[in-house]
Amino acid sequence: MQIEEIHKLLDRFYKGETSLDEEKRLSDFFRQEIVPTSLEEDSRVFLSFYDQNVPIPSDLEQRISALIDSFDDDRKMKSEKSKVRRLLSPFLVVAASVLLVFGIRFLVQYDSPQPVLMADTYQNPNDAYRATMHALQLFSDNFEKGMQPIEKAAVHVEKTQKIIHQTIYPKQ
Amino acid sequence: MRKLLIALLFVVFTANLSAQKNPFEQFTEMDGVTSVYISKNMLSLFPKNAKNMNYGGIDVGNFLHKLSSILILTTEDKNIGKRMVSLANNQIKSGNYELLMRVKSDDDDNVNFFMKGKPESIRELIMIVDGSDDESVILQFLGDFTLQDIQKMTEGFSKD
């Protein structure tokens, strides 16, 4: 096979334009003939693609499945963690809300002055008594002012009812 | 979760409300307002069934012993009185009070009675006298009494 042809085929091979047949020819060439030094580099690259005798480690399958298993384990651990988190989270949320609310309440109470019990104005029960009676009198005066018209009205209503009653059921 | 949070907030803030002081206490600090506060302890020191507790044949002590406090706020200053009454009316509006009676007397005094609770169990009774020219008064009774107790008491005083 002409070296030039090989060069052409290689060019096309690198461009990805070779057919399977042409690739077979290239592979045959690199395998069987003594490769000229100018093509040594290409030979190594080409053969690395087509060499069927790449040793496969005997435990490859085992290693792959072990790797896959380890992925699975990882995921399991993660899901277990998230399960724990899912179980924990409601309590965490509640605890956080309680803390927050009581915190706010504490702040509100802290801000507003503590309710002070109103102090008695009088230390002497007699004075207090007099003031109370005065207040009750004032209250009653005003209350009665409101009640009097009602009572008067009630008297009128009663009178009117009597008249109506007498008119409807005259004494025989 | 949200419901729980809302419930919690509700509990906490209503607890806060219940811990609040008498809404009319602020008036005791007002300049030009004379305030008189009589506590339950002081009320209990009043002579029970004494002769002078009897007004118009009615034992007023009975009513007094159902009270937990009396607050009396008075002012003779026209402007202060106006301010006090309008502040009190705001308090009434926001405080869920019920108007019991409104009296407009001949001398142009407006008197409003407000209550909190039910007629058979009044927790708070307030009288606001809006004296246009003279004294303005706020009277607050706290306790647990009935409308009938009040009626009896006022009858006694008006007969006296």
Contacts of B19 in chain A (CB under 8 A): 109, 115
In a domain? residue A141: yes
Q: Which of residues 2-61 of B touch A (CB under 8 A)?
A: 4-5, 8-9, 12-13, 15-16, 19-22, 25, 28, 35-39, 41-43, 45-47, 60
**A143 and B154: CB-CB below 8 Å?**
yes
Nearest chain B residue to A123 by CA distance is B42
Q: Does A156 reside within a domain?
A: yes
Instruction: Count the domains in chain A.
Output: 2
Which of A31, A50, A69 terminates a domain? The answer is A50
pLDDT surpassing 70 at residue A121 = yes
Which chain B positions have a beta carbon within 8 Å of A108's beta carbon?
16
A35 φ, ψ (degrees, to nearest 5): -80, 130
Q: Give the per-residue pLDDT at B36.
A: 92
Residue A153 in any domain: the answer is: yes
Residues of B in Cβ contact (< 8 Å) with A145: 103, 105, 111
State yes or no: pLDDT of A60 exceeds 80. yes
Supply the mean pLDDT for chain A: 80
Given a contact cutoff of 8 angstroms between Cβ atoms, the answer to whether A154 and B58 are in contact is no
Residue B73 scores a pLDDT above 90:
yes
Extents of the domains making up chain B: 23-159
In a domain, A27, yes or no: yes
Residue from B154, B155, B159, B160 whose CB has the most chain A CBs within 10 Å, to mutate: B154
In a domain, A97, yes or no: no
The model's pLDDT over B83-110, given as tens digits with 9 standing for 90+, comes to 899 999 998 998 889 999 998 877 778 8
Q: Is residue A135 situated within a structural domain?
A: yes
Residue A78 forms part of a structural domain? no
Asked if B103 and A145 come within 8 Å (Cβ–Cβ), the reply is yes
By the CB < 8 Å criterion, does A137 face chain B?
A: yes
Note the ipTM here.
Answer: 0.80
Query: Are B86 and A151 spatial neighbours (Cβ–Cβ below 8 Å)?
Result: no
Q: List Cβ<8 Å contacts ≥24 apart for A89-94.
A: A90/B1, A93/B1, A94/B1, A94/B4
- Residue B140 CA to residue B72 CA, distance in Å, equals 7
**Residue-wise pLDDT tens digits, A146-167:** 888 888 888 888 888 888 888 8
Instruction: Give the distance from residue B10's alpha carbon to the nearest chain A alpha carbon, in angstroms.
Output: 10
Any residues with CB less than 8 A from the CB of A118 and at least 6 apart, and which? B21, B22, B25, B28, B37, B39, B69, B71
d(Cα A119, Cα A122) in Å, to the nearest integer?
9
Instruction: Answer whether residue B21 shows pLDDT above 60.
Output: yes
Q: pLDDT tens digits, residue range A63-104? A: 888 888 888 888 777 777 777 777 777 778 888 888 888 888
Instruction: Select from B73, B54, B92, B95 the least CA-distant residue to B139.
Output: B73
**Cβ neighbours, 10 Å, residue A145:** 17
Cβ proximity of B89 and B27 under 8 Å: no
Q: Can you give the residue range of the structural domain that contains A171? A: 123-172
Is residue A147 within a helix (H) or strand (E), and if so which, with residue range? Answer: helix A125-168
